[in-house]
Structure 1
Amino acid sequence: MKAITMALPSKGRIQEDMNRFLNSAGISIIRDGDQRTYTGHIKEFEDIKIRFLSANEIAMELLAGNVQLGITGLDLISELDNKISKEVIILSKLGFSKADVVVAIPNSWIDVSSTQDLAEVTRDFLHIHERRLRVATKFERLTRNFFNEKGINNYRIVESTGATEGSPSAGTSELIVDITSSGKTLEANNLRVLNDGVILKSEACIFASKSLNWDKFNLNPVEKLLRTISARSEAINKVEMLFEYLSYDDSLELDLFRKFNGIFSGGTPNLGDAVSLITPEKKSSSCSQYLTSKGYGPIRINRPNLIYFNIDSAWQKLKTEIDL
C-alpha cells in the first residue's frame, strides 16, 4: 500500500496558525532537512508524507489529484473550482485563519450600502462615463458568481497582483473584492464593506482530493489523524462545565442547547449523575448563571484541549465520498 501525501502551508499567517493548531493537538510536523526543505513527515504518523507548498499551490495540487490531503483556505479552493464537491472534499473546518471575501467600496459613496445600490451605480456609471466600472480583485470566479447572483452586470474585472485595497485610491479601480480578517486595512484605505457584501466566510480547512484511486493507499493512519484534528477543532473556544444533576428538569437539556448551544457529552443525564456540559466559551458566563438560577451548582469549568466523539464526521465523510 502506498503512503498518503499531505500538503501543508509553507509560509504566511496560515502556516503560523496551523503550527499552533497542530502542536496543541499533539501533532509534530518534522521537516526532512532544514527550513528550506519542502518535504517532511508527522512524528506521530510516520506513514503520512508531507509536502510544504504555498496555500494557493495546495489548492491547485488537490484539484489536480497530486496530493491526497491538504490544509489550505476555503477561499482558495472556492476560487479555483466553484463546484468543489466534484473534485475536492471538505473534510473539516479547522477554526483558524478566519477571513471574509468581501465587496468593499469607497467611504465617499455615501448613498451606496447594498448590492442592489451597487447594481444601480454600475448602470449609471456606464451611462455617464461610457465605460464599465472597474473591480480590482484576485477572486475573479467568486466575484463573477456573486455579482451574477445579485444582478450586477455593468462592470469589468481588473486583475490585482499587489495590494488590492490600494487600487481605488491609486485610480486603477472604483471598488474591490478582497479578503479581510479584521477590516482594519480596508478602513485605513477609506473603504467599507457593503451591508450584504460578504461573498464567502473563509477559514482553514482540511481537504481531500477525489481525483485519484484511493484503494491503493494505506488509510489506517488517515483515520487516526482525522480523529485527532477533529478533536482539536471541536475543542477550540469550548469549555466543559461540570456539575451534579441533583434536580430533575425535563426541559433542561433542550433549553441549554437552544440558549447556549450546550450539549451533554454523556447524553441525557439521570438524576444524581455528575454531568459534563460542552458549550462555547463566550456563552459560559450566561450559561453558568442560568444553571445556578435553576439550583445547580457548584459549577466547575475546564478548558478541554481535545474533544473526541465516538463517530468522527471527517473520517465518515471521506469514507462516504470515496466509497470505502
Structure 2
Amino acid sequence: MNTEKWKSILGFVSLDDYPNLPCPYCQHEALNIEEGTIVSRKVSDSYKNVASRHFNLEQMKLQQEKVEQSKQVKELFDSKSLLGVLGAVGLIVNEVIKPNYHFCKFTAFMVCGHCGDNVAVTGLSQEHKKKTANESQLPALFKVDHFSVPIPMFNIHSLVPVSIQFELLGAFSYFHVDTSSSANKLRRAIEKFCFELGMDGSNLGRQIEQLKKSHPVEANLLNTLRLVGNEGTHSDGVHEDDLLMAFDIVEEVLTIFPRLDKLKNLEKPQAILSEKFDKKKSQTEQHVIENMKSQEARFIDKAQG
C-alpha cells in the first residue's frame, strides 16, 4: 500500500498537488478531480452546527495558531527590547497580509485517465478571497470526504472472499470522514476473515485463538487489528495514521487466500510425484531386503558346509 499517497490527502490539497488515486473500475492509478466539474458554495453559519470532522479540525487548528501568535506577540512586547518590538510588529504585519480563505462545500467528478470512467465526490474546499484588487488569486484547496464508489486503498486480490472485500471497502470509505467507523468496519472484516477460514468461536477473540492452531502468524496480526477495531467501536482514539498501519497489516494477512489456493492446486502434482517416487523407493527397499536375505542364506550355507 502506498501509505505516503494517502497521507498526502489527509488535509486540504490544491488540484496541482492532488495525487492520482486507484480507479475502482480498472485499478490503474489514474483517477483525479476534473476541474471543470467542480461546483462550490460557501458554508453558511447554520452549517457550522453540523460541520464535518475536518471542518472542525481546521477551525481548531486556526484558533490554536491565533492563540499561539498572540502569546508570541505579547512575549516580544514584554521583552521591551528593540528586536522584540520589531519582531512583534512583524508578526502582526504577517497576519494582516496573510491570504484570506473561506470554507465552501463542493461537489465534483473524479475521472480515470486510463478507462475514462468516473466517481462523484463531495467535500470541503478552502477558497482564496482577495483582500485587494492587486492581490494575486491563489488556488483553492480541497478535502474529499465522500467518494460515491469506495476507492481501494490497496489492491484486493480477486480470491479474497467477497464478504471480506465488502467490509474493507467500507473501512476505506469511512477513512476519509470518520476514523472510528472505519476501524469498526475493519473489525467486521476480521470477523469475516475468521468465518471464511472456518473458525467458530463464540466471539472474535476466541476465533483468533482458534486460528492460532493452523495460522499462528496471521492470528497474531489479527489480534492487533482486533484491538484497533475495538477502540473504534467503543471510543474515538483511532487516528488516520493508526488506520494506515492497520491497512498495511491487512494487506499482508489477505495474501493467505491466494496462497491457500496455490497450495490446493499443488495437491494433484504432489500426488503424482509422491506416487511415482514412493513406488521407486519401495522397490529399492524391497531389492535391498532381498539382497540381505540372499547374503544371509549364503553365509548360513557356508557355515554349515
Which range, TM-score by smaller chain? under 0.3
TM-score when scaled to structure 2? 0.27
| Larger relative contact order, structure 1 or 2 (CA cutoff 8 Å, min sep 6) | 1
Normalized per residue, which structure has more helix? 2
Larger-Rg structure: 2
TM-score when scaled to structure 1? 0.26
Normalized per residue, which structure has more strand? 1
